[in-house]
Amino acid sequence: VKMNLSVYAGTNPQQLTPEKLVPIVKQLDDATDNLRRTAHNLMPDRLIEDGLVEAVFYFCNNLQKSVPISISFQPMGTMPSLPTQFELSLYRIIQELMQNIIKHAEATEAIVQLSCEHDLLSITVEDNGKGINEDHEDVGLGLKSIEARVNEFSGRFTIETTPNVGTTVHLEFSVAAINRMPGVNTNKIYS
**Tens digit of each residue's pLDDT (9 = 90 or more) over 18-62:** 888 888 888 888 887 777 666 656 667 788 888 899 999 999 999
pLDDT band at 133 (very low <50, low <70, confident <90, very high): confident
pLDDT band at 138 (very low <50, low <70, confident <90, very high): very low
Residue closest to 171 by CA, chosen among 141, 138, 147 = 147
What's the pTM value of the predicted model, to 2 decimals? Answer: 0.73
Q: How far is CA 28 from CA 1, 20, 37, 51, 109, in A?
A: 7, 14, 14, 32, 32
181: left (phi over 0), alpha (psi -120 to 50) or beta: beta
For 64, phi and psi rounded to 5 degrees? -55, -35
Classified as helix, coil or strand, 138 is helix
Q: What's the rounded Cα separation, in Å, for the pair 91 and 76?
A: 16
Cβ proximity of 96 and 70 under 8 Å? no
Q: What's the rounded Cα separation, in Å, for the pair 33 and 55?
A: 19
